[in-house]
């Protein structure tokens, strides 16, 4: 795995906040689709954007 997903988060006095921000700001690896489709995530898209239904992150929130 790349460092963006495996390194510790930035310091925050509350570790829960630090790890939550780290997780939702991670870049997407893929967006699930049908079995024969392309699961590639748009470059630079984050889990946060996908959860919010950003148009460039596919239609499957």
The 8-class DSSP code of residue 14 comes to: S
Q: In the prediction, which pLDDT does 1 show?
A: 66
Residue 56 has pLDDT above 80, yes or no: no
Residue 58 has pLDDT above 60, yes or no: no
Q: In the prediction, which pLDDT does 61 show?
A: 41
C-beta contacts of 32-40 below 8 A and 24+ residues apart: 32/60, 33/58, 33/60
What are the residues whose beta carbons fall under 8 Å from the beta carbon of 8, sequence distance 6 or more?
Answer: 22
pLDDT tens by residue, 24-43:
888 888 888 778 888 888 88
């Amino acid at each position: 795995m790349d460092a963006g997903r495996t390194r510790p988060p930035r310091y925050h006095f509350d570790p829960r906040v630090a790890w939550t921000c780290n997780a939702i700001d991670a870049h997407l690896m893929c967006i699930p689709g049908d079995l024969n489709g392309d699961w590639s995530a748009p470059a630079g898209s984050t889990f946060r954007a996908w959860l919010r239904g950003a148009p460039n992150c596919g239609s499957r929130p």
